[in-house]
Amino acid sequence: MRRIALILITLIFCYACPVFAIENINSPDEVVLEIKPVLHDELGVLGIETVPEQQEISIEKTFREKLEEIYHTEYTDLGVNNYLLTDILSKHFSEDSIIESIHPFAGYNGSVIFNFNEPDSFKTNYRFNTVALGIDGKFKGGESDFRILFRNAPLSGRNMLRNSFSDVYIGTNKLKNHRIQAGYQRPASGIEGKISAFQLPFIYRSQISRTFGTVRKIGARVIGDYALLDYDIGGYSSDTYMKSFFPGAEFAGWVNLKPLGKTNGKYGNLKIGSGFQSGHRDSDYTVIGAYASYDYKRFMANFEWADADGYNGYSGHISDKHASGFYTTLGYMVTPKVQILARYDEFDPNHSIKNNNRREYSLGLNYFIKGQGLKLIFNYIFCQNDSAKDSHRLILGTQILL
């Protein structure tokens, strides 16, 4: 009877607790119990409450931890302006706000210049090349954005209003492979003429870039970027630095072909392009240009040429001069942080005057401590002038982006 009662108790226990079952007996002395997955209806029948999954807890980094992260981060992409305090200064807004986030930033690029004019003249001066304070913002959804950039380096010949703003524009990336941008901005007047001052390989732009380009105008542009082609086409007011309302219209466009664009960089990156800028401001002006560049691993080379029948750039509106020039640059990354450069730059400011060409032979050394965010610069320039004394310049520069 005891054996029968024990068997009955065992059967009742197994029937009442279906979550346990005898799996397999590997040996007469070993019994393995397997825990079967329990269905929700079984748990309901048994009256057992489910335990919710543990949620991840996001822990905000401290200010010190963010600084340590910046210290240990290596910035390898030199084609972007990496602002060091982006994570610290950025602010994100609630979902009901039309603005998703803003990023206040600051940039500084300055240099000490030692001028040696032949035969025995020597002069030293300090220059604020670029000092900027700005805000980058994104609208809700992240596909549209805006920028407000203030310039704080004083320049003669411009009042406070004309010299206060560098960029004030809005843009959208909603169209695939395209960006539409409208406002006060730098047009596509050549390749080097339109890029950020914080991206320049040397302290100074080339002579054609600083004469024909690097100036802000009010207008709208369409920027397209495909694997084998990119372009920048826009219409603008011919006014510069807010001197007048609308003295005339200007068109600026540039197209680049990228023959190696679908090789994923296996054979390097090749870019060949051309463009022109044409408008009216008291009189007509036209600047045409061509560009070629190639970079492969640590090596880079570029060439840009421009010819102007009148122009409306950084040097002002010039209507009666036919000017032209070109430059070519070679660069090599000795290490991921050290770059050496060499450039030849020639410019003829007026074809009507003979023997007035200006040539600049430049050597450069860049030390990227934290990418473009913290950089030390050394330039040597030999200036050879047909109609003036030759000169030498030693330039020590610093760049920091916060």
Q: What is the mean pLDDT of residues 74-88?
A: 90
Model confidence at 212: pLDDT above 70:
yes
| pLDDT recorded at residue 348 | 96
Specify whether the CB–CB gap between 329 and 299 falls below 8 A: no
Give the integer Cα–Cα distance in Å for 214 and 212.
7
Q: What is the mean pLDDT of residues 120-130?
A: 82
Q: Which helix (H) or strand (E) holds 24?
A: none
Model confidence at 196: pLDDT above 70:
yes
Nearest to 189 by CA among 126, 228, 238: 238
Give the integer Cα–Cα distance in Å for 339 and 298.
9
| pLDDT recorded at residue 154 | 55
Query: What's the pLDDT tens digit per position in 221-266?
Result: 999 999 999 999 999 999 987 778 889 999 999 999 999 999 999 9
Q: Return phi, psi of residue 131, to 5°.
A: -130, 115
Q: How much is the mean pLDDT over the chain?
A: 84
Burial of 335 (0-12, 13-18, 19+ CB in 10 A): exposed
Instruction: Calculate the alpha carbon distances from 40 to 15, 33, 372, 375 in Å.
Output: 19, 21, 57, 61
Q: Which helix (H) or strand (E) holds 10?
A: helix 2-16
Give the integer Cα–Cα distance in Å for 143 and 318.
39
| pLDDT recorded at residue 69 | 86
Between 50 and 286, whose confidence is greater? 286
Helical H runs in 159-206?
A: 160-164
Contacts of 79 (CB under 8 A, 6+ apart): 199
Give the integer Cα–Cα distance in Å for 286 and 197.
24
Query: What's the pLDDT tens digit per position in 5-28?
Result: 444 444 444 434 443 333 333 333
* β 144-151/316-333 pair status: unpaired
Domains observed in the chain: 2-46 (no CATH), 83-401 (2.40.160.10)
Give the integer Cα–Cα distance in Å for 354 and 321.
13
Specify whether the CB–CB gap between 171 and 182 falls below 8 A: yes
Query: What's the pLDDT tens digit per position in 26-67?
Result: 333 433 334 344 333 333 333 444 445 555 555 777 878 888
Q: Which helix (H) or strand (E) holds 376?
A: strand 374-385
